[in-house]
């Protein structure tokens, strides 16, 4: 499956840049089934919910992926997930 270039083109979670099968499964485990459900969501809260669903503390880079997905669905251009690493590190410091 190719990645969407805009949020309007994203009809499946896996079409969002930086979201593959594994992270899509993480999102589905917390009730996110469609890309549009990411609009307005807090990526840090999604991470906390994902940790609770998994029963473990997951790699913090997952936050970067969640930030990327939420921002993309809210209209930001696609960026690699690591573009958001400095933001996450500032937020969690």
The share of the chain scoring above pLDDT 70, in percent, equals: 99
pLDDT of res. 37: 98
Spatial distance between the Cα atoms of 76 and 62, rounded to a whole number of angstroms = 18
In this prediction the pTM is 0.95
pLDDT of res. 2: 85
CATH no., domain 7-92:
1.10.150
Q: Which tens digits make up the pLDDT trace of 40-54?
A: 999 999 999 999 999
* pLDDT surpassing 70 at residue 1: no
CB 49 within 8 A of CB 37: no
């Amino acid at each position: 499956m190719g990645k969407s270039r805009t949020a309007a083109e994203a009809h499946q979670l896996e079409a969002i840049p930086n979201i593959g099968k594994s992270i899509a499964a993480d999102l589905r485990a917390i009730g996110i089934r469609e890309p549009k459900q990411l609009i307005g969501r807090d990526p840090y809260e999604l991470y906390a919910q994902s940790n609770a669903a998994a029963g473990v503390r997951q790699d913090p880079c997952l936050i970067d992926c969640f930030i990327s997905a939420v921002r993309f669905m809210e209209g930001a251009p696609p960026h690699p997930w690591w573009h958001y690493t400095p933001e996450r590190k500032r937020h969690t410091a």
